[in-house]
Structures are given as structure tokens and as C-alpha cells.
């Protein structure tokens, strides 16, 4: 049963407010003494010209109390205490019936959301910063899907720009073919760095590179073939990382994809008299909005990053007719997106208000003991490898007999890293500390995964359950708190998608795991005389297991059956 809905209807019978307005006002109180749901009467007070306390008092008397243990008024609040047995029955039966799809809704039915995430640069290493956008975007993608939206996951690859002219020049001079095949990104990075060193001494290299990019832009066959090779080789490496992470995309349309779609944008801006010349470049002035001008064409007529983003936004609107278009990109690019969205607005595209930049912080390390191959850049590959190795060490110590140790270590290690990225609100920087991240205690990925495995082990020992389930028996504080947290899943998904903040779900799954452990530490499940109580508690364990699994799934983290 949807209690918020039920309560809204009960209140609706006595007041003059729309049902969905009432529903939005209903809160989940922070303390159990304040009930399971609360309705604040402030808004009614304005309409009814009575004090909120008085309204709460009157409503308490007149509302139908069926299905509730009691209804109380506390100051301006009306507090609802649900009937625990009914609540447990409704919740657990729904979780068990829905299974893997528990938490799904149709909030987003008929609406399409574009989520752009990851978007690494071709021929550049995939470093620890890229996991931030990848993990947040992947999780938002899954959450929107869960809410019934039609979601398009886009990897806006950085596969275009003058750097490709430089790479072509560097390739023709210094490439080591064997190294390129073996470790493509390392080799491409090496020759790219070399290009910059050499161009310091011989600036004519820059002219050649510019020419090479021009060739690429105009579809020269040789240049295009090389570009394609760099792209394919890099993608192959990226895909290995995506595989480990279990991340997928619906579209790999990167910057190059818009090469032939920019003229339209430039012409449109020209027609609308938005383009002006500034130091030889074509720009849209934004000083009225306290922003530097948005450069659309450089002095030599070449497009830039922003031009491609303008074209991409228009393309996405035209192709997907989105309800929302989300860009998961680091906070340092906030100004860039503000400029792009403003230019779209000035060009009369009112849908620019549906474009949202989702920023995030930096990744730092408490102990810089991570091995690095490329100077100061920490590769994600290395980070994940280290996480897996360290987890394997822990398993070898704690549970050396475990089957599929490698597989388990991979899921826990990678899960621990993803969990760390999604644990705090995304604008905050992450400080990496192995000890903390991989700990089985505290608010970590392994702690949640361990709770799952623990629940699983209880179930595997539960044989010959013959008692009849009776939800009234789940009356203890720990049981009821756990049931309540299981019932809260949909709410939390909604909050997380509204705020575009996966950490809300990370916090939630920690809460469920904690509530589960509290319950299990306080109450027996298997060692019970009362067969009916045993059967009932087992169904509570089963549903906890299911909710932890579903929530982790939305974060992009796999569960393990044993650990």
C-alpha cells in the first residue's frame, strides 16, 4: 500500500487542498516517536485562517483511523502511526512479489531523458577522475530507467579537435608500431608529449599539425584513416575498463560526430544576429549575463569545443526530443555549460532550460602509494587492480576456503571503489584512503555487500520452513525500523533523481544494511521454537536481501552470494 497516497486521501476528505499538493507535503519524521508519516499544517493555516496547531488538533479528531495504530497531533504536525502488522505485510509482500523490479515506478512514463557521462578523450589515459562522471552517470541512468523514463546513455567522446592534427604529425615521425599495438594509449601519449617538446624547438610543426587537422575536417582519406585507428585503439582500452565496471552506453556519438552538424548552428546564430567578431573570432557576447563571450569560431574559422556542444545539444533535442538532457561533467566546466545553455536560450530554444549540468568534485589520495605509470596521472586501471588485489589479500586472510575468490574479490574491490565515489554528495572532493574504503565495517561498499552475503547465508540454512507467516509478529523496534527502511526505497529513488544525486541512494543502502544488522544482532531467525515467527522473520530477511541487491544494482555494484 502507498501510505502517502492513503494519508493524502484521508486528509483530502476534510480540507480544501489538491491531493497531489497534500502528498508532496507529507514528510517522513526523523524520529520514531514522531510517527511514521507526518503532515505539517502550515500551508492549510494560510487558507483556513486558523493556527496550524488548531488545524492539526481538529484533523486528528475527524480523520478515519483505519489501518493506523493511532494518529496524534504534535504542535503544527499531524503524526500518523501505522499499524505495524499491516505495514509489514504490505511492505514485505510487495518486495517479495516484485523481486528484482521492486522500486520500479512509472513516474517517467512517456518521457525521455538523455544522460551524458564518462566522455573521455581519445588517445589520453582514462584516469581516476573519469570514474566520477562514469559512476554518477551510470547510476543516474539506472535510476531514471527504474522510474520508467526512456533513457539514452551517451558517451560524448573527446575524439575531435586540433590535437588530432598534432597526433597525425607525431605519428608519421615517431611512432613505434609495436608499442602502439601493445599499449596504444601509452604510445599515443608518448608521441603527443614528444610533439610538444619538438614543436618548442621547431614551431613549423604546429603549422603542419594545423594543416593536418584541416585535412581531417575536410575528410581527407589518409588523415581520416589514422584518426579512426587512434579512436578504435583507444576505445578498445576504454571498453576494457567499462567491462570491469559493467557500464554501457546507447550512443558513442562523440565530438567528431558533430563535424558536419556545426554549419547549421553557426548559420543559425548568424541569422539571429548573435554572432559578432571579436579579435578575429566569431563569438556570442554574454556580458549582460556576467559571463565571458562564448567563442563559436576561432580566427582561422575552425570550430571549437563549445561549437560542438551547441551542435550536440540541438542534435539531441531533434533526435530524442528529451524531457531532460543531463551532462555529468566536472565542476570546472560549469561556466562552459552555462555559456552553452545561455547561447541556446538566446537563439530562442526554450528547451535550453531542460539542459542540466551535473558537476562533481576532485579525487585526492590520503596516501599516495598508488603505483603510477604516467607521472602524476593515476590510471583507473591501476586503481581498480589495486582494489582487487587488496581485497583478495583480505579474503585470503579471513576466508581462505572461499570458492571463486578472484571473482568475489573483483566484485567487492570494484564495488568498494564505486561506492566511495558515490558515497558523499557529488560536489564534494573524494579523499581516497584504502584502509577505510576496503573495511568491512563502517559505511563502505564491503560492509553493505557483507550484509547481503550474511542475509544470504541465513537463508541458505533455513530448511523445512513449515510455519505460517504472521506479520503481526514483527512488532519489535528493530523489526519495524527495518521494514520501514525497506518501504522507503521508492521515495529515495525519487529524491535521488530529483536532486540528480546518487549519494542519496548510497546513504539509503547503508541505512538498510545497518537496520538489517541491528535486527539480526537483536533477534534470532533460525533458532526459534515458534515456527510461525521463524517463517515471518525469514520473509523479512528475504526482503532485506532483495532491497539491498536492488539498491546496489542502481549504484552499479554487484552483490556476492558469499564472502
> Contact positions toward ligand ARG, by CB under 6 A?
116, 119-121, 156, 158, 309, 312, 327, 329
Least Å distance, CB 362 to ligand ARG, is: 13
Q: How many CB atoms lie within 10 A of CB 332?
A: 10
Q: What is the DSSP letter of 44?
A: H
Which candidate, 301, 355, 292, places its Cα nearest to that of 329?
Answer: 355
Least Å distance, CB 127 to ligand ARG, is: 10
Task: For ligand ARG, give the closer residue by CB, 307 or 449.
Answer: 307
Task: For ligand ARG, give the closer residue by CB, 295 or 554.
Answer: 295
Task: For ligand ARG, give the closer residue by CB, 340 or 510.
Answer: 340
* Gap between the Cα atoms of 196 and 316, Å rounded: 35
Task: For ligand ARG, give the closer residue by CB, 76 or 158.
Answer: 158
Least Å distance, CB 171 to ligand ARG, is: 21
Least Å distance, CB 261 to ligand ARG, is: 14
Task: For ligand ARG, give the closer residue by CB, 116 or 501.
Answer: 116
C-alpha cell at 511: 541505512
Task: For ligand ARG, give the closer residue by CB, 311 or 409.
Answer: 311
Which candidate, 10, 46, 5, 42, places its Cα nearest to that of 24?
Answer: 5
- What b-and-e string marks burial along 76-85, b requiring 16 or more CB atoms within 10 Å of the CB? bbbbbbbbbb
3-state secondary structure 82-129: ECHHHHHHHHHHHHHHHHHHCCCCCCCCCCEEEEECCCCECCCCCEHH
How far is C-alpha 122 from the geometric centre of its chain's CA atoms? 23
**Which 3 state secondary structure label does DSSP give 205?**
helix
The torsion angle over the Cα atoms of residues 343, 349, 350 and 355, rounded to 10 degrees, is -60
CA distances 375 to 136, 378, 536, Å, are 27, 8, 57
Least Å distance, CB 406 to ligand ARG, is: 32
Which candidate, 558, 514, 547, 449, places its Cα nearest to that of 146?
Answer: 547
- Residues linked to residue 326 through DSSP beta bridges, in sequence order: 115, 356
Task: For ligand ARG, give the closer residue by CB, 112 or 130.
Answer: 130
Task: For ligand ARG, give the closer residue by CB, 223 or 310.
Answer: 310
Least Å distance, CB 329 to ligand ARG, is: 4
Least Å distance, CB 473 to ligand ARG, is: 54
Least Å distance, CB 429 to ligand ARG, is: 17
DSSP 405-417: HHHHHHHHHHHHH
Least Å distance, CB 242 to ligand ARG, is: 15
Q: Which residue is nearest to ligand ARG (CB)?
A: 158
Are 370 and 382 in contact by the 8 Å Cβ rule? The answer is: yes
Task: For ligand ARG, give the closer residue by CB, 121 or 488.
Answer: 121
Task: For ligand ARG, give the closer residue by CB, 322 or 327.
Answer: 327
How far is C-alpha 147 from the geometric centre of its chain's CA atoms? 14
Task: For ligand ARG, give the closer residue by CB, 121 or 206.
Answer: 121
Are 5 and 23 in contact by the 8 Å Cβ rule? The answer is: yes
Are 326 and 115 in contact by the 8 Å Cβ rule? The answer is: yes
Least Å distance, CB 357 to ligand ARG, is: 9
Are 195 and 205 in contact by the 8 Å Cβ rule? The answer is: yes
Least Å distance, CB 119 to ligand ARG, is: 4
Which is it for the CA torsion 376, 382, 383, 387, positive or negative? negative
- Residues linked to residue 545 through DSSP beta bridges, in sequence order: none
Amino acid at each position: 500500500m502507498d501510505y502517502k497516497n492513503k494519508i493524502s486521501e484521508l486528509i483530502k476528505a476534510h480540507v480544501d487542498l489538491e491531493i497531489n499538493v497534500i502528498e508532496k507535503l507529507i514528510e517522513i519524521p526523523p524520529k520514531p516517536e514522531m510517527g511514521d508519516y507526518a503532515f505539517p499544517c502550515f500551508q492549510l493555516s494560510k487558507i483556513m485562517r486558523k493556527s496550524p496547531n488548531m488545524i492539526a488538533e481538529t484533523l486528528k479528531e475527524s480523520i478515519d483511523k483505519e489501518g493506523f495504530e493511532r494518529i496524534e497531533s504534535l504542535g503544527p504536525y499531524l503524526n500518523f502511526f501505522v499499524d505495524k502488522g499491516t505495514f509489514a505485510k504490505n511492505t514485505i509482500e510487495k518486495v517479495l512479489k516484485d523481486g528484482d523490479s521492486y522500486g520500479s515506478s512509472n513516474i517517467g512514463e512517456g518521457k525521455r531523458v538523455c544522460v551524458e557521462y564518462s566522455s573521455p578523450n581519445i588517445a589520453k589515459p582514462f584516469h581516476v577522475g573519469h570514474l566520477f562522471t562514469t559512476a554518477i552517470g551510470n547510476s543516474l541512468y539506472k535510476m531514471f530507467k527504474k522510474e520508467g523514463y526512456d533513457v539514452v546513455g551517451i558517451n560524448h567522446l573527446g575524439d575531435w579537435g586540433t590535437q588530432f592534427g598534432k597526433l597525425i604529425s607525431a605519428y608519421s615521425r615517431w611512432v613505434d608500431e609495436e608499442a602502439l599495438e601493445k599499449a596504444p594509449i601509452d604510445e599515443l601519449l608518448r608521441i603527443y608529449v614528444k610533439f610538444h617538446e619538438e614543436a618548442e624547438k621547431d614551431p613549423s610543426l604546429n603549422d603542419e599539425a594545423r594543416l593536418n587537422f584541416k585535412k581531417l575536417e575536410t575528410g581527407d582519406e589518409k588523415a581520416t584513416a589514422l584518426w579512426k585507428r587512434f579512436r578504435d585503439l583507444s576505445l578498445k582500452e576504454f571498453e576494457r575498463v567499462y567491462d570491469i565496471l559493467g557500464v554501457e552506453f546507447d550512443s558513442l556519438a562523440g565530438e567528431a560526430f558533430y563535424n558536419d552538424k556545426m554549419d547549421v548552428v553557426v548559420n543559425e546564430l548568424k541569422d539571429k544576429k548573435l554572432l559578432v567578431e571579436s579579435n578575429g573570432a566569431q563569438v556570442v557576447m554574454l556580458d549582460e549575463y556576467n559571463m565571458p563571450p562564448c567563442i563559436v569560431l576561432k580566427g582561422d574559422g575552425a570550430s571549437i569545443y563549445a561549437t560542438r556542444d551547441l551542435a550536440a545539444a540541438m542534435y539531441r533535442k531533434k533526435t530524442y526530443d528529451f524531457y531532460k538532457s543531463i551532462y555529468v561533467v566536472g565542476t570546472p566546466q560549469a561556466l562552459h555549460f552555462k555559456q552553452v545553455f545561455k547561447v541556446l536560450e538566446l537563439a530562442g530554444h526554450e528547451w535550453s532550460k531542460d539542459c542540466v549540468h551535473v558537476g562533481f568534485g576532485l579525487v585526492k589520495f590520503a596516501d599516495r602509494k598508488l603505483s603510477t605509470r604516467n607521472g602524476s596521472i593515476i590510471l583507473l586501471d591501476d586503481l581498480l587492480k589495486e582494489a582487487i588485489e587488496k581485497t583478495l589479500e583480505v579474503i585470503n586472510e579471513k576466508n581462505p576456503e572461499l570458492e571463486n575468490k578472484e571473482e568475489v574479490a573483483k566484485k567487492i574491490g570494484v564495488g568498494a571503489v564505486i561506492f566511495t565515489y558515490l558515497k558523499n554528495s557529488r560536489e564534494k572532493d573524494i579523499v581516497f584512503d584504502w584502509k577505510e574504503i576496503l573495511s568491512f565495517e563502517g559505511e563502505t561498499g564491503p560492509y553493505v555487500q557483507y550484509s547481503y552475503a550474511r542475509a544470504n547465508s541465513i537463508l541458505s540454512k533455513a530448511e523445512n520452513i513449515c510455519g505460517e507467516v504472521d506479520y503481526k509478529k514483527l512488532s519489535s523496534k528493530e523489526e519495524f525500523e527495518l521494514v520501514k527502511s525497506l518501504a522507503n526505497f521508492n521515495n529515495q529513488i525519487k529524491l535521488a533523481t530529483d536532486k540528480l544525486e546518487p549519494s542519496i541512494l548510497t546513504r539509503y543502502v547503508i541505512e538498510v544494511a545497518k537496520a538489517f544488522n541491528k535486527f539480526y544482532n537483536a533477534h534470532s531467525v533460525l533458532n526459534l521454537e515458534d515456527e510461525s515467527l521463524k517463517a515471518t522473520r525469514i520473509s523479512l530477511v528475504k526482503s532485506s536481501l532483495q532491497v539491498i541487491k536492488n539498491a546496489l544494482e542502481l549504484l552499479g555494484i554487484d552483490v556476492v552470494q558469499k564472502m
